[in-house]
C-alpha cells in the first residue's frame, strides 16, 4: 500500500518494536534524489573518505602484522648467533649429539622462510598503498581548488545548518502514521472478562511497574506490581484503595497519577499513587456517562482517557454532538479542557479507540474480525477510513490503549492481558525547512 505518492520528496521510514529483545526496528526508504546525492562534490568526497578509511584499515593490519613478524625475527636473531658461534668453533667434526642439536635448531628457523615471503607481500602492499595515497592527494587537491570559494566560516555554517536539520529530522522519528499491528502477545490470563492494565507512559525506562484494575464499574482496588515479571508471576505487589469508585475501563497512568472516570458521573479524577490521595477532580462539560454513550461493548465505557506523545486526552460523547466521538486535550495538572474536536464518528459503532501522535484510531468492533477502521487527525481536523487488521485472539476486547514509551498497544481481551506492537510510517522532508 502506497501511503505517499512522492517518495522523492522525503525519507520514508517504518518503525516497529517487533524485535525479540524489544528494540525498535527501523526500515528507511531513501529518496531517489536527496540533498547530498544532488551534490557531486559531496558524493565524490564520500567516495574519497571511503577510500581513505580502507587505506587506514590496511595500514593498521600491515602495522600489526609487521610488528608481530619483527618480534619473531628478533627472537630468531639470538638463535642464529648461537648457531654461528658453534659452527665457527667446530673443528670439522661434530658428535652425533651436537649434530642433532644443530639440526633441531635449524628446524626452528624454518618458519623464517614464510616470514620473509610475507615481507615481500607486505612490500608490494606498501607500494600499492603509496600509489593510492598519491591518487587521493591529487583528488583532494582538485576538490580543494574547486571548493576554494567557500571560506572556513561559510563551511562551518553549512555544517551547523545540516546538523540542525538532522536533529529536527531525528525528533520527527518519534511520530508517524499507523500502518500495522503485530500478532498478539499474551502476557497473562487474570481476572474477569472486563478490566484494564497499564504502565506509566511518562516513567523512565528503569521503572517497569504495572497497574491492574479488574472489572468495569464500582471498583476501587488497584494493584501495583513492581515489574512486568512480577505481574506475570503474580508476586511483589501493593494495593491502592481509591477513595471513589471507577466506571468503565478507560483509565490511564500518567506521570505517577491515575486518571479515571468517577462512577455514575462525568467527573475526571486524578489520583496520585505516592501520596495515595486525589490531587484534583473536575467534570467534563456535557460528557455522557453511566452507559449513555459507551463503546459497542457497553461496560460504562462512556469516558476513555489516553496518553500519546503529545500528552493527556479524553475521548467521550455529548448530547450536543449527537453521540459522535469528541476528542479533548486535557491539562494534566488542572484537568481543564484545552481544546476539543468533533470527529463525526458515532461512539456506539466503535469497538475501542486509542491515540498515537495526535491521531485518534477507532476499531469497528470489539469482537473477532475487528480492525482499525477510522482515523481522525487533530492537527488538520480531518479524517480518513483505514483498513489495519489485527488478530482479536480472545474475541472480546474491553480495553485498548497505546503506550508511547513502549510503542505498544495494551489490551484486556476476555480476561487476558495482551500486548500488540505497532508499525508507524514516517516521511521526513529533505527540501526546504525540516
> What is the rounded distance in angstroms from the CA atom of residue 187 to the CA atom of residue 420?
11
Mean pLDDT by 10 residues, the chain (434 residues): 39 53 52 46 67 66 64 66 67 66 68 64 68 71 61 62 55 76 95 96 89 96 96 96 97 97 97 97 96 95 96 96 96 97 96 96 89 96 95 94 93 97 74 45
Residues 1-34 as b/e (b if ≥16 CB within 10 A, e otherwise) read eeeeeeeebbbbbbbbbbeeeeeeeeeeeebeee
For 184-215, the pLDDT digits (tens) are 999 999 999 999 999 998 888 889 999 999 99
What distance lies between CA 70 and its chain's CA centroid?
Answer: 49
For 353-384, the pLDDT digits (tens) are 999 999 999 999 888 888 999 999 999 999 99
> What is the rounded distance in angstroms from the CA atom of residue 270 to the CA atom of residue 312?
12
For 227-265, the pLDDT digits (tens) are 999 999 999 999 999 999 999 999 999 999 999 999 999
Q: What pLDDT was estimated at residue 2?
A: 32
Question: Is 243 exposed, middle or buried, given 0-12, 13-18 or 19+ CB atoms closer than 10 A?
Answer: exposed
> What is the rounded distance in angstroms from the CA atom of residue 289 to the CA atom of residue 41?
65
Q: What percent of the chain has pLDDT over 70?
A: 62
| Sign of the four-CA dihedral 266, 288, 404, 409 | positive
Residues 378-410 as b/e (b if ≥16 CB within 10 A, e otherwise) read beeeebeebebebebbbebbbbbbbbbebbbbb
Query: What is the residue extent of each domain of the chain?
Result: 47-90+97-147, 171-425
> What is this structure's pTM?
0.64
CATH code of domain 171-425: 2.120.10.30
Using alpha carbons, list the distances in angstroms from residue 313 to 37, 251, 338, 354, 358.
Answer: 42, 11, 10, 10, 9
Q: What pLDDT was estimated at residue 308?
A: 95
> What is the rounded distance in angstroms from the CA atom of residue 160 to the CA atom of residue 403?
34
Which is nearest to 190 in space by CA: 236, 250, 232? 232
Amino acid at each position: 500500500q502506497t501511503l505517499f505518492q512522492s517518495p522523492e520528496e522525503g525519507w520514508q521510514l517504518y518503525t516497529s518494536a517487533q524485535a525479540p529483545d524489544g528494540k525498535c526496528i527501523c526500515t528507511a526508504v531513501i529518496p531517489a534524489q536527496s540533498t547530498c546525492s544532488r551534490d557531486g562534490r559531496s558524493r565524490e568526497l564520500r567516495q574519497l573518505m571511503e577510500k581513505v578509511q580502507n587505506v587506514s584499515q590496511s595500514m593498521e593490519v600491515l602495522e600489526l602484522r609487521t610488528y608481530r613478524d619483527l618480534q619473531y625475527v628478533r627472537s630468531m636473531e639470538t638463535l642464529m648467533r648461537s648457531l654461528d658461534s658453534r659452527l665457527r668453533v667446530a673443528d670439522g667434526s661434530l658428535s652425533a649429539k651436537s649434530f642433532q642439536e644443530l639440526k633441531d635448531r635449524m628446524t626452528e628457523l624454518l618458519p623464517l622462510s614464510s616470514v620473509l615471503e610475507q615481507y615481500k607481500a607486505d612490500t608490494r602492499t606498501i607500494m600499492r598503498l603509496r600509489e593510492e595515497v598519491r591518487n587521493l592527494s591529487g583528488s583532494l587537491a582538485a576538490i580543494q581548488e574547486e571548493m576554494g570559494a567557500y571560506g572556513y566560516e561559510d563551511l562551518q555554517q553549512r555544517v551547523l545548518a545540516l546538523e540542525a536539520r538532522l536533529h529536527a529530522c531525528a525528533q520527527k522519528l518519534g511520530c508517524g502514521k499507523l500502518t500495522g499491528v503485530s500478532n498478539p502477545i499474551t502476557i497473562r490470563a487474570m481476572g474477569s472478562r472486563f478490566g484494564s492494565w497499564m504502565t506509566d507512559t511518562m516513567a523512565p525506562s528503569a521503572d517497569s511497574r504495572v497497574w491492574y484494575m479488574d472489572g468495569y464499574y464500582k471498583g476501587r482496588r488497584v494493584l501495583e506490581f513492581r515489574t512486568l515479571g512480577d505481574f506475570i508471576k503474580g508476586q511483589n505487589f501493593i494495593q491502592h484503595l481509591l477513595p471513589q469508585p471507577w466506571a468503565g475501563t478507560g483509565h490511564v497512568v500518567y506521570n505517577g497519577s491515575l486518571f479515571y472516570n468517577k462512577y455514575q458521573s462525568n467527573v475526571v479524577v486524578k489520583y496520585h499513587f505516592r501520596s495515595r490521595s486525589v490531587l484534583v477532580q473536575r467534570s467534563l462539560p456535557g460528557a455522557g456517562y453511566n452507559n449513555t454513550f459507551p463503546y459497542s461493548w457497553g461496560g460504562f465505557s462512556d469516558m476513555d482517557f489516553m496518553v500519546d506523545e503529545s500528552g493527556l486526552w479524553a475521548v467521550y460523547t455529548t448530547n450536543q454532538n449527537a453521540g459522535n466521538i469528541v476528542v479533548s486535550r486535557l491539562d494534566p495538572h488542572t484537568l481543564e479542557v484545552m481544546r476539543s474536536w468533533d470527529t463525526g464518528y458515532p461512539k456506539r459503532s466503535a469497538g475501542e479507540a486509542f491515540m498515537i501522535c495526535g491521531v485518534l484510531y477507532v476499531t469497528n468492533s470489539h469482537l473477532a474480525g475487528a480492525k482499525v477502521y477510522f482515523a481522525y487527525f487533530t492537527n488538520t481536523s480531518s479524517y480518513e477510513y483505514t483498513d489495519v487488521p489485527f488478530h482479536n485472539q480472545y474475541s472480546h476486547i474491553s480495553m485498548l490503549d497505546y503506550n508511547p514509551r513502549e510503542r505498544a498497544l495494551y489490551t484486556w481481551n476476555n480476561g487476558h492481558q495482551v500486548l500488540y506492537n505497532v508499525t508507524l510510517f514516517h516521511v521526513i522532508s529533505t527540501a526546504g525547512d525540516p
